[in-house]
Amino acid sequence: MHYRLLLFICLVTLQASAKDALTQAYKRYAAPSNATLQFAVQDSSRLFAHTARPWLTYNRNPSGICYVSDTFFLKKDSIISQKQNMVFHAATQYTPSQLLITDFGYDKPQTISRRELDEYVFQSARYSPILLLHYYLQHKDKLTMKKHRKQTTYTLPIGENRVTIFINAENLIDSITVQYPHYLFGDITRAFTYSSHTTLGEIAIPNDIRITSFNGHISERTLISAPTLIHTPPPAQPVPAAYAIQEEKEDTIQVQSERYNDHIGFIHNKHTDSRTLVVSFKDFLVVMEAPLNSENGTRIIAEAHKLFPGKPIRYFAYSHHHPHYLGGVRSFIHNGATILSQDSNLHYLQFIAGNPHTMKPDSLQLQPKPLKTELYTDKKEITDGEYTMQIHLIGNKSSHAYDFAVFYFPEEKLLFEGELIWIKKEGEIAKANARQLGLYEAVKERGLDVKTFVQSWPLYNYNLKSIISLKELEETVQIK
């Protein structure tokens, strides 16, 4: 009896002290109720883009000023473009009911979804923990607390994200982690590490914040300086008259399949605006391109078997590493297919195949299968002795990606490619862009007898043709 009572008292004391750690941390960082914290910011950001190689990023290094209180955040930034000899400005303003983001090069706030509004409370931790600490205190009933020897941690679900604050014995934050399910990469952690602090009176201010994301593949840094308190309202952005939060709509899944001939079939993924190619050999299938995520990969596998019943998918191939082409690969790994890959992408492919998807499990997470690959560097031929297809790595000829491959079918004189031809359905024919010219040159240099080009993306948007004759492509090349 005494043991149970003692245990109960210890648990209550432990919970009380832990909750007190959260309150004390808030008190250490928060500005007085009648003031707003102001400080200068220097960012060193690395952002993903539609880059030519996997994991390649571009740098953005804005500097500006921040204003923070319990429920208000305002950041005004500028970037100097040496190339254009111009200064670009951006602004981000948050309250619990509004998020106004005017990005560089724009003159009005962009449309914001409910998810983006909800998530900014922890995105702002790159600059200050005040908003997040205040939010935690408002949602104490949903917190999961753990007491460790040197830290107390608090975890809170925010949407699909699992956000954890690590508070040390001095009631300072060591780090904040955000775990979330990425549509392609699976379980991803973004971490804000407060490497050092300065003080403004009794207020603790993180002045060196290190940010890692995509499980360590991306590293960034934010430097905070010149903190001060202001007692007048900061220069807030005006709220547009038509401002409204955009409610997110789930995609309407639309998949349509058709046979081109006895060997070739097309799957039109209307909801992703893209086309998948299925090729039938004597006793196996080859599938090329699967957009964005495992769910689409699973649908494509089912459609491939409808087009050509009774044959296993032996190979999956993709034109290049961007998500619209490689995104569904995990479903094909689970299905037992061998992945045909440019050898330069092996480590990227291994990460996609091996990174856990526990937060939003797919078929490969639920039933793990080994990654099987066949790598090529320039050309690969697939044949059953009667029918043949070729994969040609044209690389930087594409003016798009160093790993760009195209798929050639000699019997049909057909070439299937990802997104290189930009010829409008209507109107005057324009001069070939670098992508079109590179594709045309690659076809001629390799002696490929092509009559028809079939493109994966886009199918419906941008008013572009996705089935193009050689004559049409040549017309654009011949324009001077």
At 242-259, the pLDDT tens digits run 888 988 777 788 999 999
Judge if 182 and 282 occupy the same domain: no
Judge if 117 and 212 occupy the same domain: yes
Share of the chain above pLDDT 90, in %: 82
pLDDT at position 174, please?
98
Q: Could you give the CA distance from residue 129 to residue 222 in angstroms, rounded to a whole number?
A: 13
3-state DSSP assignment of residue 19? helix
Q: Is the residue at 11 inside a domain?
A: no
Judge if 221 and 307 occupy the same domain: no
How many domains does one find in the chain?
Answer: 2
Torsions phi, psi for 234 (to 5 deg): -70, 165
pLDDT at position 243, please?
86
Judge if 211 and 300 occupy the same domain: no
Residue 453 has pLDDT above 70, yes or no: yes
Q: Is the residue at 245 inside a domain?
A: no
CATH classification at residue 303: 3.60.15.10
Judge if 37 and 136 occupy the same domain: yes
CATH classification at residue 101: 2.50.20.10
Could you say which DSSP state residue 290 is in? Answer: -
Judge if 62 and 159 occupy the same domain: yes
Preceding omega of 129 cis (within 30 degrees of 0) = no
Element (H, E) at 323: helix 323-326
pLDDT at position 134, please?
97
Residues spanned by the domain of 167? 20-230
Judge if 225 and 297 occupy the same domain: no
Judge if 440 and 345 occupy the same domain: yes
Model confidence band, residue 285 (pLDDT cutoffs 50, 70, 90): very high
Judge if 58 and 145 occupy the same domain: yes
Q: Is the residue at 235 inside a domain?
A: no
Q: Could you say which of 230, 246, 271 is where a domain stops? A: 230
Q: Is the residue at 389 inside a domain?
A: yes
Across 455-460, average pLDDT = 96
Share of the chain above pLDDT 70, in %: 96
3-state DSSP assignment of residue 142? helix
Judge if 45 and 139 occupy the same domain: yes
pLDDT at position 230, please?
96
Judge if 261 and 224 occupy the same domain: no
Q: Is the residue at 3 inside a domain?
A: no
Judge if 215 and 271 occupy the same domain: no
Tens digit of each residue's pLDDT (9 = 90 or more) over 12-51 = 444 444 458 999 999 999 999 889 999 999 999 887 777 8
Q: Is the residue at 87 inside a domain?
A: yes
Q: Is the residue at 174 inside a domain?
A: yes
pLDDT at position 9, please?
41
Could you say which DSSP state residue 365 is in? Answer: H
Q: Could you give the CA distance from residue 206 to residue 204 in angstroms, rounded to a whole number?
A: 7
Across 323-338, average pLDDT = 98
Q: Is the residue at 247 inside a domain?
A: no
Residue 423 to residues 426, 428, 431, 437, Cα–Cα distance (Å): 9, 9, 9, 12
Please tell me the number of Cα atoms within 13 Å of 95 on its side-chain side. Answer: 6
